Amino acid sequence: MLRDTIPLKEKETIKVLKRFKNTNPWFGATRTRKAKFFYCFEKLKELYGIDTELIFKIPLDLKKWKSSHKSNYNSLTDVITLDGRLSVITLIHEFLHALGYDEDGAVKYSIYFFKIVFPEEFGKLKSKDKFYTR
């Protein structure tokens, strides 16, 4: 589904992401972590009034996956696929695509929100081109 870019609701988005942060999204079994990501996604969908679907292509042993670079948003089917490593930045990034943001906007705002809500984790990341990794 192609849509016009939906304006960001900055304060409300930060509030949803802070609740997500309080769940400690990096802790727990794969099933538990997926539930945390899904809950955050559902709250963001509710905030923005969109019907995008979220699909996980995550192995049971997350340690085998070092990257989430195969994750994507398909605008024709309005589906986000989180493929590989469960990444908070990737979830935000792909959600921004679902809101109509192009690659530059999705990169800019996913990093912006992550840096505000997760400053300790942001400080641990290494930047290369437009990618941030541990």
- Give the pLDDT confidence score for residue 131 in this predicted structure: 52
pLDDT score recorded for residue 84: 77
| 20: DSSP letter | H
Task: Identify the H or E element spanning 117.
Answer: helix 103-117
pLDDT at 1: 55
In order along its 134 residues, the chain shows pLDDT tens digits of 556 789 999 999 999 999 999 999 999 988 899 999 999 999 999 999 999 999 998 766 656 556 566 788 999 999 999 987 888 999 999 999 999 999 999 989 998 998 999 887 766 656 655 555 55
Q: What share of the chain is helix, strand, coil (3-state, %, to 5)?
A: 50, 15, 35
DSSP 29-64: -HHHHHHHHHHHHHHHHHHHT---EEEEE--S-GGG
Helix (H, G, I), strand (E, B) or coil at 101: coil
